[in-house]
Amino acid sequence: MKKWCKLENLFVILAGIFGLVTIFLIPPFQNAPDEPTHFFRTWSMANGTFVSQDIDGKYGIKIPQEVALFPERSGFNAFDKNREIFRLNKDFFKEEFTIHPSNKKNGFFLESSAFLNPVGYVPQVVGIFIGRILHTPVIVCYWLGRVMTLAFAIYLVFLSIKIAPFGKSVFFVLALLPMSISLFSSLNPDAIGIPILFLLVSLLLHCIFDDTYKVTIIHYVAIFFMSICIASLKIVYFPVIFLFLLIPDSKFQTSPWLVNITQKKLLLLRYILFGLLLVATLSAALITFMSGVSGRAIPYMQGVNSKDQILFIVGNPLEVIGIFFTTIENFLPYYFVQFIGTMGNFLQPSLPNISYALFIVVAVYLMRSLGSDIDKLISKITIKHRLAFFGIFLASFFGIFFSLYIATNPVGAFDEMIGVQGRYFIPIAPLLIFTFYGLKLSDLHKKMVFVSLFSIAYVFALLSAYNKFYLVDFTQSLGLTPSGNSYLEGGLQKEPRFFQTFHSTMNDLSGVNIFFSTFGSRIKDDFSIVIFDETCSHVIRKQKINSYKILDNAFAEATFENISDSRDKNYCFSVVADKENSQPITIQFSAPNVYLEGNTKVDGSKSDKDVVFKLHYGN
């Protein structure tokens, strides 16, 4: 075989071409998530600032004005209103080549980038540092950072493919996905994290299965170093280190200093080494977390509190499981698109639908046609190995969802886990593929698998049809929105201060979504919704509102037991505090005479404005 035809060399050629074209074709900051933030962080490190500074009580990093305004000059987040496509000014590059960074740090600082771990920025920093030495314009420094990141990522994936005892085609295909190339061609730390994890998995597989090489101290040091890097970048991937436990005892005995050791001591040594690896990995993750806290990282959104979120999960396990499955159901197509990738406009589909289908077909074909190496090792991959691959994949898979749910989602407020992106699954995809890679089944087992999968798919299809036609779960928007600064002054009290009547158009009325304002506070006191008859005098339902769901200037769902015969009937509602002197919380009013099917009374007086609310029917 010609040297360039080897899979690892072919990858270097293709990734190099695709990556360089991506760097210079896609406009700045349109190629990967949060790249302005990563650019600022990289720039500060290239100029010797690694730790955030206290600037007038705020934590951040000062950077030159020319650098701080680069994303704005490039039109970051500017889209054509009709087509939603980014348009670069035709004179952009000509102007940018005249803008050099000054040595003055003009007071621009960015809290959101101050806490990010330096580990994920090493090659980016090298590229920008070279640009600073050569006194190049800001845009050239930016390009040099991306080129160095691409080169580093390509080299690590090259090593991953080269040393993998099997599954070379898996690393080859996953690393050439549009999303992977986009990340490798950016300043995003995932450009480093994905190749490092690929190399770690490949090296561990090499130690487990490849009998042609001896496992030396260099292997152990490399595994330790890469595990610490991964834990520093994204702790959810740390379960990969448990592959270490699959390394056969015989591999330990190949080291000269372990030849005469007894089996019992050898087993003890294995667990000591793994214990050290585990402690080092978790310590690195803890240091990263604490540095983020000390850096005063800005919360993802109002109401985020990791400790309270953990308590909410422990106290409401069934509800959280439901939230998880709802998230999977609603966002699966989105995860799929982001896993394959986009070309610019990275959070939305930007390729023709047929392109995504073709990428899947080509990927499956390449893995099968280039995966003949599995025949040499099929007898060594046991059920134990496959279960380990699958278990580690699941641990990281659930870790992705729940870590983001804990760290970035308001406590118990949403019915979905917000923040998960399809690219997060690329690093652990090899483990899922290796679970079934080269698995040979008898004709009977193949038929059983086919029938089982087909039956499961059909059950879900029938359940979907049942939910669509027989189960009501519907939120009715009434066109009510807050109007200026119109709210219930003095806030909610133990006695009702307002009454809002409304007309129910469906049976199974089960909730009212109310627009609350909390004046920036996190609500912990109890409040209840009270449903009356149309005269606002007879109580039909009274139910506590989940305080976790009450956020500042946002809708919160107040649910109660279904009213099965609610169609074409009028009702009234109010919200009351469960005790005197509760936390300040109020409701917002709409513009006058918007909702014509109900009336509002505030402190006993009729108002031409309405409470901002929606109605919920069903479960």
Nearest to 309 by CA among 558, 548, 52: 548
User: pLDDT for 365-401, tens place per residue?
Assistant: 766 655 555 556 667 788 899 999 999 999 999 999 9
Task: Say if CB 583 and CB 521 are below 8 A apart.
Answer: yes
Pick from 208-217, 352-361, 389-398 the range whose average pLDDT is largest: 389-398
- Looking up tokens 């970051």 gives 76
What are 311's two structure tokens? 């308590």
What are 444's two structure tokens? 């009977």
Q: 271 vs 566, which has greater pLDDT?
A: 566
What does the domain layout of the chain look like in residue ranges?
3-408, 447-471, 475-618
Task: Say if CB 480 and CB 595 are below 8 A apart.
Answer: yes
For range 347-357, the mean pLDDT? 65
User: pLDDT for 487-500, tens place per residue?
Assistant: 998 889 889 999 99
**Pairwise CA distance, residues 385 & 380, whole Å:** 9
For range 439-446, the mean pLDDT? 71
pLDDT at position 552:
80
* Positions of E strands within 444-519: 473-476, 498-504, 509-517
| pLDDT exceeds cutoff 80 at 576 | yes
Pick from 134-148, 200-214, 238-252 the range whose average pLDDT is largest: 134-148
pLDDT at position 298:
46
pLDDT at position 196:
95
| pLDDT exceeds cutoff 60 at 577 | yes
| pLDDT exceeds cutoff 90 at 413 | no
Nearest to 580 by CA among 520, 502, 527: 527
Q: 260 vs 514, which has greater pLDDT?
A: 514
Q: Residue 258 CB: number of other CB atoms within 10 A?
A: 15
b/e code 396-417 from CB counts within 10 Å (16+ = b):
bbebbbbbbbbbbbbbbbbebb
When the pLDDT of each residue in the chain is averaged and rounded to a whole number, the result is: 81
pTM: 0.78
pLDDT at position 590:
92
Q: How confident is the model at residue 82 (pLDDT cuts 50, 70, 90)?
A: very low
pLDDT at position 151:
96
pLDDT at position 146:
93
Q: Is 372 helix (H, G, I), strand (E, B) or coil?
A: coil
SS3 content of the chain, % helix, strand, coil (to 5): 50, 15, 35
Cα–Cα distances in Å, from 619 out to 272, 307, 370, 562?
52, 29, 50, 8
Lowest mean pLDDT among 38-42, 380-384, 445-449, 516-520: 445-449
Q: How confident is the model at residue 84 (pLDDT cuts 50, 70, 90)?
A: very low
Q: 272 vs 222, which has greater pLDDT?
A: 222
User: pLDDT for 217-259, tens place per residue?
Assistant: 788 888 888 988 888 888 889 899 899 888 887 776 555 555 5
User: pLDDT for 544-571, tens place per residue?
Assistant: 988 777 888 888 888 899 998 999 999 9
pLDDT at position 295:
42
pLDDT at position 293:
42
Q: What is the largest CA-CA distance in the chain?
A: 92
Task: Say if CB 7 and CB 172 are below 8 A apart.
Answer: yes
Please state the CATH superfamily assignment of the domain spanning residues 475-618 in this structure: PHR domain (2.60.120.820)
| pLDDT exceeds cutoff 70 at 516 | yes
User: pLDDT for 25-81, tens place per residue?
Assistant: 888 887 777 788 888 888 888 887 766 666 666 666 777 888 877 887 777 654 444
User: pLDDT for 155-198, tens place per residue?
Assistant: 999 999 999 888 888 899 899 998 999 999 998 888 999 999 99
For range 440-464, the mean pLDDT? 76
Alpha carbon 330 to chain centroid, angstroms: 15
**φ, ψ for residue 598, nearest 5 deg:** -155, 170
